[in-house]
């Protein structure tokens, strides 16, 4: 039995946490959440052509992933910008070193990563240079500032009860006013 852990505390934690022994002798044993209960979060970042933005947004919304962050960015890849032929009478070529792109970021559960990637590929792949890139990164933690919710709970949009109640009360008051005006 681990020193310092009372039988009451052990009973209380039973089923919630599992005891893990350190592989190195002499190191403390740790308490950790079982792996099957952990929800792994990922950030999927897509850099796409700006003209494909609306198609991408509508396609991803069909996956029921409405929350995202997007920004207009400038960048270049293998195409190294664009070169234009000189205007008539101009002495040299003009070039644009950076191209306009859209960078979109989603924070999703591990199970949603592959469907999201497939949707992004289907929507944005033209086979030409400059189609973009997709990056997938692990997320250690997510915290909703308003409520302090963490992990999966922080991701899913929930309409606060006071807003729902406010709308319901407003609807009841509007109905009462309508009925009162008819009388």
Tens-place pLDDT, residues 78-95: 776 665 555 665 566 666
In a domain, 70, yes or no: no
The answer to pTM > 0.75 is no
In a domain, 144, yes or no: no
In a domain, 107, yes or no: no
In a domain, 3, yes or no: yes
Q: H/E element holding 139?
A: strand 132-139
| pLDDT for the residue numbered 154 | 85
Say if residue 178's pLDDT is above 80: no
164: pLDDT confidence band, cut at 50, 70 and 90?
A: low
Domain count within the chain: 1
136: pLDDT confidence band, cut at 50, 70 and 90?
A: very high
Domain span including residue 19: 1-38
Say if residue 36's pLDDT is above 80: no
What's the whole-number mean pLDDT along residues 154-160? 71
Q: Is 116 exposed, middle or buried (0-12, 13-18, 19+ CB in 10 A)?
A: buried
The percent of residues above 90 in pLDDT, for the chain, comes to 39
């Amino acid at each position: 039995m681990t020193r310092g852990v009372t039988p009451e505390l052990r009973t209380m934690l039973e089923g919630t946490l599992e005891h893990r022994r350190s592989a190195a002798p002499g190191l403390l044993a740790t308490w950790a959440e079982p792996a099957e209960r952990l929800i792994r979060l990922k950030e999927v970042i897509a850099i796409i052509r700006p003209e494909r933005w609306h198609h991408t947004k509508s396609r991803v919304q069909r996956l029921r992933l409405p929350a995202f962050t997007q920004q207009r960015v400038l960048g270049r890849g293998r195409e190294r910008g664009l070169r234009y032929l000189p205007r008539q009478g101009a002495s040299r070529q003009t070039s644009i070193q950076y191209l306009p792109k859209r960078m979109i970021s989603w924070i999703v559960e591990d199970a949603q990563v592959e469907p999201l990637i497939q949707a992004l590929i289907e929507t944005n792949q033209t086979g030409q240079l400059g189609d973009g890139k997709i990056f997938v990164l692990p997320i250690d933690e997510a915290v909703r500032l308003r409520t302090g919710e963490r992990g999966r709970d922080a991701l899913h949009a929930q309409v606060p009860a006071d807003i729902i109640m406010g709308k319901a009360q407003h609807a009841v008051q509007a109905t009462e006013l309508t009925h009162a005006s008819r009388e």
